[in-house]
């Protein structure tokens, strides 16, 4: 773009503005990650950290199937969450981008507010709603339905609901951006060529919104593998996910090296899955 | 008569990485003149302007304003003012604040600023009630005037204009072109105007500088460039023209002898004054503008003539343009002020003639 | 005929799903607000009565007020610092071309996609180890730092949108008028970027205010509103917590509306 101007690192205009971010993220993001990696090679003894170098932690990690089933469960939940989020977000984002001209500001405010409030508050609200003696059952009972109709609190379904609830706005946002960027005249050209609304949507809009769908999917997946609020509160802690396992490892068992190792395993696997899928998606695009 | 140049550009080179934007440009601008830099896109005219303004520095070469070397002097401190292509009016300031901005930066007293802004408003023929409005509320032409006012308020030595009229529609452009001319006459500031519109340059400028691929091809008054272009590119760039191949056979102080396989010339020679200095023996090009060619009879007593067949007829309002092809495949363009009776018909075989004083011989080169 | 049917069907799907999702989003929020009016001690239906007594209790509750104060304190510092860092990074990321730009963009933006809890844990490890060596504990300061790491990328993205719409020729024009670097920022750049910066600040504040995972890991024994509520859910909560929630919602929605107004105004100016 014409906008970019060249600057070198010697010019204060550049480094004064860029360095704070660089320093911040290097010292408080990269360095901690490196430290985490190093920690996996240490030992704890009597709740104290010993700086020895060994592979005990890693043998532990790779020998206990328990950790891997939890990881598998976590990945499955994250994928399910992605699918549901994308399916639900798409019509919302599409509607927001192409219709609702008069109300679109109000809707954006409502969605933003719902997004930005405390996750704990909202999850708490869900508990109150879904509980056996909660709002949902109360209202349904008044309508004549048997009590305890809504009984899926403390199950994986409730966890999924919570995850979708908290991560949906990300998908709405990314898909909205890519649909908003589609050149209207492309769709008009499709109509002109004889396509009906659904056909034009299928052939033009949908393919062009792929970047947004992809970005949203990646974001939701990566964030979804790290949730522990929803599984603990809405899922009742009965079906633990990796994040909860990691938390326990740190807090209850005070086994930092193990916790560090599990954290790294989670991140590496998650990124690997993303890369794998991007390869698959990329190949499809190349062939198309 | 020749005062010291107000702007002196000496052998300026500019490269962006490995890309050479300017390859040794030298130019002296006289105080108070209106000079236009024209050329196709990528020729370096805007780059040169930016270097004069101080937004970029040269890779080598010097730029002097009023004799002072501008190397290392930032744009803010130079006695130049620029009118940008996109106008660059501050959207968050009113018209008055925009115009007064340069003075505000110089810490001029507010009441003095107000008076000067009023002067500018009057000079630019803008309505006083616009002072409180924001640029967004003004039309394109009015915004243009505000931009000019802002550039002039600090009494710059050089006004640099970067294709300021290129985004306007034809009618508005004509109005503002006249404005610029009027402004230049009344204020007397030196104008350096970059444009790709040659008509504009011919209309407004005292001198025109034709550039191409980082070099200056020709610098001179509009008529000079039009009738005596330095090379085929300038000839074609300035306007539609006819370049006919001839062969120079002899050269002396008064005359140049030549031959041509098409042009019928009883004398076979041309006045040396109408031949460019760098033309030697061998192939050359005879340049004749379309409006200076007329239909003639086969036996007419004109200086030069040749035979051709009319291939196209275009009517452009008051003038008619013809295309014709000679026996040897030379494509010609002829322009005749319209009459109710077309002197040539499509497909007709005609003889075309012109006077020697109306032609110019130049060296062949890249067109 | 076919087209009209398609149109109608499309509209039903779009409007219907929008309405459904909006309802979905506000179910827990309204539930919380409703429960804050419960008179009795327990959060079960039917209500013992409707009253505002728990709002009163809220203002007398030491821990709740303490949490409120901590939340505000952390959010204020985190907002100011993260917004400044993010704004500068946005200008660099959008406007300049330099060696290592991709790396810079990746580094400055990475925490966005990183699961918060893991970020909190990784930072906790880091600060714990450092704390062992330099002798400090996790607490408000580490929470603030953690918030900044997480929030600065958000601020960067929001301001970047504004920078993208900002034509750099305006800065050139200012310099041509005679402005020094500082004057350019003061008179042109900052005033024009201000709506974006302010929006980013509002988002930063809300993100910090409502942040759970990072505070949970890094605040040590200090409580903020989200961690306070979390402990409440675990223990056996009373309508005190919904009351807090409702109290917290009010500034939240106001700020979001304000941010939206700014966004509209920013779009109108450019």
DSSP secondary structure, A144-193, as one string? TPPTT----TTSHHHHHHHHHHHHHHHHHHHHHHHHHTS-HHHHHHHHHT
Q: C3–A246: do the CB atoms touch at under 8 Å? A: no
Q: What is the pLDDT of residue A288?
A: 36
Distance CA C19, CA A145 (A): 24
| CA torsion angle B200 B204 B209 B214 (round to 10) | -40
Confirm if B361 and B256 have CB atoms less than 8 A apart.
Answer: yes
| Three state DSSP letters for B77-104 | HCCEEEECCCCCCCCCCCHHHHHHHHHH
Distance CA B268, CA B52 (A): 48
Write the CA distances from B44 to A75, B37, B132, C21, C163, integer angstroms. Answer: 57, 9, 39, 56, 29
Asked if the peptide bond before residue C46 counts as cis, ω within 30 degrees of 0, the response is yes
Distance CA C263, CA C203 (A): 12
Q: C172–B55: do the CB atoms touch at under 8 Å? A: yes
Does CATH number 1.10.3720.10 belong to domain A65-287? yes
Note whether B363 contacts C: Cβ–Cβ < 8 A: no
Q: What is the pLDDT of residue B81?
A: 92
Look up the ipTM and state it.
0.79
Q: What is the pLDDT of residue C1?
A: 52
The distance of B201 to chain C (nearest Cα, Å) reads 24
Contacts of A99 in chain C (CB under 8 A): 11, 14-15
Per residue in C87-108, pLDDT tens?
999 988 888 888 888 888 888 8
Which stretches in chain A have pLDDT values below 50?
1, 283-288
Contacts of C191 in chain B (CB under 8 A): 92
C-alpha B176: how far from chain center: 17
According to DSSP, the β-strands at B215-220 and B304-316 are unpaired
Domain B7-227 fold is Rossmann fold (3.40.50)
Chains that touch B (3 or more CB pairs under 8 A): C
Phi–psi pair at B210, nearest 5 degrees = -95, 125
Write down the mean pLDDT value for chain C.
84
Q: At what angle do helices C225-235 and C62-95 cross, to 10 degrees?
A: 130
Burial of B339 per CB tally in 10 Å (0-12, 13-18, 19+): exposed
For residue A7, give the 3-state DSSP assignment. coil
Write down the mean pLDDT value for chain A.
81
Question: Which residues lie closer than 8 Å to B145 by C-beta, 6 or more apart?
Answer: B124, B125, B126, B179
Q: Taking CA atoms, what residue in C is nearest to A78?
A: C115
Contacts of A117 in chain C (CB under 8 A): 29, 210, 248-249, 252
Contacts of A77 in chain C (CB under 8 A): none
Note whether A63 contacts C: Cβ–Cβ < 8 A: no
Q: C45–A133: do the CB atoms touch at under 8 Å? A: yes
> What are the structural domains, with CATH classification, of chain C?
62-269 (1.10.3720.10)
Per residue in A203-246, pLDDT tens?
888 888 888 888 888 888 988 888 888 888 887 777 778 888 88
Residue B223 has a CB neighbour count (10 Å cut-off) of: 10
According to DSSP, the β-strands at B68-69 and B80-83 are unpaired
Mean pLDDT lowest among B337-351, C17-31, C158-172: B337-351
Which stretches in chain B have pLDDT values below 70?
1-2, 338-342, 367
For residue B22, give the 3-state DSSP assignment. strand
Indicate whether C190 pLDDT > 70. Answer: yes
Question: Which residues lie closer than 8 Å to B135 by C-beta, 6 or more apart?
Answer: B87, B89, B90, B91, B95, B98, B143, B146
The distance of A121 to chain C (nearest Cα, Å) reads 6
Eight-class DSSP state of C239: T
Burial of B354 per CB tally in 10 Å (0-12, 13-18, 19+): buried
Distance CA B280, CA B276 (A): 9
- The arithmetic mean of pLDDT across residues C217-240, rounded, is 77
Q: To which residue do tokens 């050329």 refer?
A: B39
Q: A95–C14: do the CB atoms touch at under 8 Å? A: yes
Note whether A100 contacts C: Cβ–Cβ < 8 A: yes
Listed by start position, the domains of chain B span 7-227, 241-362
| CA torsion angle C133 C139 C142 C143 (round to 10) | 160
DSSP secondary structure, B264-329, as one string? B-SS-EEEGGGB-TT--SEEEEEEE-GGG-EEE-TT---SEEEEEEEEEEEEETTEEEEEEEETT-
Q: What is the pLDDT of residue A78?
A: 92
User: Which of B:147-206 have CB within 8 Å of C?
Assistant: 150-151, 154
Per residue in C127-160, pLDDT tens?
888 887 787 777 788 889 999 999 999 899 888 8
Q: C97–A99: do the CB atoms touch at under 8 Å? A: no
Q: What is the pLDDT of residue C217?
A: 83
Q: What is the pLDDT of residue A47?
A: 57
The distance of A128 to chain C (nearest Cα, Å) reads 7
Note whether A29 contacts C: Cβ–Cβ < 8 A: yes
Architecture of domain B241-362: Beta Barrel (2.40)
Q: C172–B84: do the CB atoms touch at under 8 Å? A: yes
Q: What is the pLDDT of residue B140?
A: 85
Q: The tokens of B260 are what?
A: 């041509």
Name the residue facing C28 among A8, A32, A129 (closest C-beta): A129
């Amino acid at each position: 773009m014409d906008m970019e101007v060249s600057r070198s690192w010697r010019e204060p205009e550049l480094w004064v503005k860029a360095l704070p971010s660089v320093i911040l993220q290097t010292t408080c993001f990269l360095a901690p990650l490196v430290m985490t990696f190093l920690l996996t090679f240490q030992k704890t003894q009597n709740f104290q950290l010993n700086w020895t170098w060994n592979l005990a932690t890693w043998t532990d990690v790779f020998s206990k199937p328990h950790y891997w089933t939890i990881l598998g469960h976590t990945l499955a939940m994250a994928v399910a969450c992605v699918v549901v989020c994308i399916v639900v977000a798409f019509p919302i984002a599409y509607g927001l981008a192409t219709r609702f001209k008069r109300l679109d500001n109000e809707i954006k405010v409502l969605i933003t507010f719902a997004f930005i409030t405390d996750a704990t508050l909202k999850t708490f609200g869900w508990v109150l709603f879904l509980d056996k003696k909660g709002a949902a059952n109360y209202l349904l009972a008044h309508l004549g339905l048997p009590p305890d109709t809504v009984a899926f609190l403390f199950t994986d379904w409730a966890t999924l609901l919570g995850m979708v609830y908290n991560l949906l706005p990300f998908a709405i946002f990314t898909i909205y951006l890519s649909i908003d960027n589609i050149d209207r005249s492309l769709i008009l050209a499709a109509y002109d060529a004889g396509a009906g609304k659904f056909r034009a949507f299928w052939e033009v809009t949908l393919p062009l919104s792929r970047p947004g769908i992809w970005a949203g999917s990646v974001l939701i997946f990566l964030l979804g593998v790290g949730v522990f609020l929803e599984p603990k509160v809405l899922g009742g802690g009965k079906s633990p996910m990796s994040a909860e396992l990691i938390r326990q490892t740190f807090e209850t068992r005070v086994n930092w090296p193990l916790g560090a190792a599990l954290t790294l395993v989670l991140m590496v696997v998650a990124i690997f899955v993303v890369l794998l899928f991007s390869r698959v998606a990329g190949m499809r695009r190349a062939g198309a | 008569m020749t005062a010291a140049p107000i702007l002196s550009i000496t052998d300026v080179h500019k490269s962006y990485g490995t890309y050479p934007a300017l390859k040794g440009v030298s130019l002296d601008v006289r105080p108070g003149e209106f000079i236009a830099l024209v050329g196709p896109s990528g020729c370096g005219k805007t780059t040169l302007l930016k270097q004069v303004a101080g937004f970029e520095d040269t890779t080598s070469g010097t730029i002097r304003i009023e004799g002072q070397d501008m190397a290392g002097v930032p744009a803010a401190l130079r006695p130049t003012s620029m009118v940008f292509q996109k106008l660059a009016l501050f959207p968050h300031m009113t018209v008055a604040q925009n115009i007064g901005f340069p003075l505000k930066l110089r810490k001029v007293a507010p009441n003095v600023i107000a008076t000067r802004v009023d002067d500018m408003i009057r000079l630019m023929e803008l309505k006083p009630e616009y002072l409180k409005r924001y640029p967004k509320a003004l039309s394109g032409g009015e915004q243009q005037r505000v931009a000019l006012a802002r550039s002039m308020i600090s009494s710059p030595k050089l006004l640099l204009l970067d294709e300021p009229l290129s985004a306007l529609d034809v009618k508005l452009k004509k109005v503002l072109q006249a404005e610029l001319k009027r402004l230049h006459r009344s204020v007397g500031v030196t104008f350096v105007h970059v444009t790709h519109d040659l008509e504009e340059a011919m209309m407004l400028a005292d001198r025109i500088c034709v550039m191409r691929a980082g070099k200056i091809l020709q610098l001179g008054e509009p008529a000079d460039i039009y009738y005596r272009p330095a090379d085929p590119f300038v000839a074609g760039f300035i306007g539609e023209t006819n370049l006919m191949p001839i062969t120079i056979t002899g050269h002396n102080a008064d005359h140049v002898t030549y031959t041509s396989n098409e042009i019928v010339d009883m004398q076979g020679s041309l006045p040396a004054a109408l031949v460019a200095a760098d033309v030697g023996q061998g192939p050359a090009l005879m340049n004749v503008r379309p409006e200076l060619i007329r239909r003639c009879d086969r036996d007419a007593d004109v200086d030069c003539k040749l035979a051709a067949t009319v291939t196209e007829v275009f009517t452009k309002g008051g003038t008619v343009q013809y295309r014709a092809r000679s026996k040897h495949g030379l494509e010609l363009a002829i322009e005749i002020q319209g009459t109710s009776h077309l002197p040539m018909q499509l497909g007709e075989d005609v003889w075309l003639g012109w006077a020697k004083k109306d032609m110019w011989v130049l060296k062949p080169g890249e067109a | 005929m076919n087209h009209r049917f398609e149109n109608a069907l499309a509209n039903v799907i779009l409007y219907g799903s929008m309405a459904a999702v909006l309802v979905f989003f506000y179910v827990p929020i309204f539930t919380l607000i409703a429960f804050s009016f419960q008179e009795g001690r327990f959060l079960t239906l039917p209500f013992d009565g409707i009253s505002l007594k728990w709002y009163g209790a809220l203002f007398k509750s030491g821990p709740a007020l303490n949490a409120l104060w901590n939340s505000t304190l952390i959010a204020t510092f985190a907002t100011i610092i993260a917004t400044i860092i993010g704004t500068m990074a946005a200008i660099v990321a959008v406007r300049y071309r330099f060696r290592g730009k991709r790396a810079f963009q990746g580094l400055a933006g990475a925490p966005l996609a990183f699961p918060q809890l893991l970020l909190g844990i990784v930072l906790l490890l880091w600060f714990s180890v450092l704390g062992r060596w330099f002798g400090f504990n996790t607490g408000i300061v580490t929470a603030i730092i953690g918030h900044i790491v997480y929030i600065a990328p958000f601020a960067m993205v929001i301001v970047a949108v504004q920078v993208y719409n900002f034509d750099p020729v305006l800065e050139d024009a200012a310099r041509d008028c005679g402005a020094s670097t500082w004057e350019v920022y003061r008179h042109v750049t900052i005033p024009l970027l201000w709506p974006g910066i302010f929006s980013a600040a509002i988002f930063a504040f809300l993100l910090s205010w409502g942040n759970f995972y990072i505070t949970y890991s890094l605040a040590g024994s200090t409580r903020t509103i989200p961690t306070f509520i979390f402990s409440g859910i675990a223990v056996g909560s009373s309508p005190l917590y919904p009351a807090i929630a409702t109290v917290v919602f009010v500034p939240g929605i106001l700020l979001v509306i304000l941010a939206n107004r700014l966004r509209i105004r920013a779009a109108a100016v450019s």
